Amino acid sequence: MISASIMTINRRHAAMPLSFEAFRTLHHADYLTYARARLHPRRADEAVEQTFTTLRGAWPTVLRSPSPAHTAWIVLNDRLHASNGAPCCPAGALREELGTLAALGYSPEHSATLTGLPLGRVRSTIRRQPAHSARAAGGRNT
C-alpha cells in the first residue's frame, strides 16, 4: 500500500512539467549560493523558493521568452531586491550581479549560462567591474 505522503509527492511532481523540474535541478544550488552572497541565508533561501514558485506558475510563458534562463535570472534578482527592501533593477545592477558571480568563483561561461546572457556581454561587463566593491568581494546585505 502506498502511503498518503508518497501519493502527495507523486501528485505534486506530476503537476510540474519535466522541463521545470530539470531547470530547477540545474539552477537551484547556484541560485542559493548567489542569493546567500547577497542576503542573510534565511532570507536568501526564502527568496530562492519564492523565485521558483513564481517561475513554476508562469512556466509556459517563461519557456516562450527569448531566453528562459535570463527571464528566471530577472525574477530571482527582483526577489532579492524586494527581500532587501531595495528598488528593483537599480542602476549598475547587472555589473553588480556578474561581479558577485565572479567573486564566488563562477567562470564567465557558467555565469552566461546561469544568467541567460551572451558570453561576450558577460565578459565585457566583468572587465568593466570596479576592482574593489563590497559586493564583488562577497559582501552581503542583511
**Contact call for residues 51 and 79 (beta carbons, < 8 A):** yes
Contacts of 106 (CB under 8 A, 6+ apart): 30, 114
Question: Helix, strand or coil for residue 95?
Answer: helix
Question: How does pLDDT run across 38-52, given as a tens digit for each residue?
Answer: 999 999 999 999 999
| pLDDT by position in tens, the chain (length 142) | 444 544 444 455 556 799 999 999 999 999 999 999 999 999 999 999 999 999 999 999 999 999 999 999 999 999 999 988 776 766 678 999 999 999 999 999 999 999 999 999 999 999 887 654 434 444 444 4
Q: Residue 92 has what pLDDT? A: 77
All cell numbers assigned to 137: 568581494
Burial tier of 142 (Cβ tally within 10 Å: 0-12, 13-18, 19+): exposed
pTM of the predicted model, to two decimals?
A: 0.79
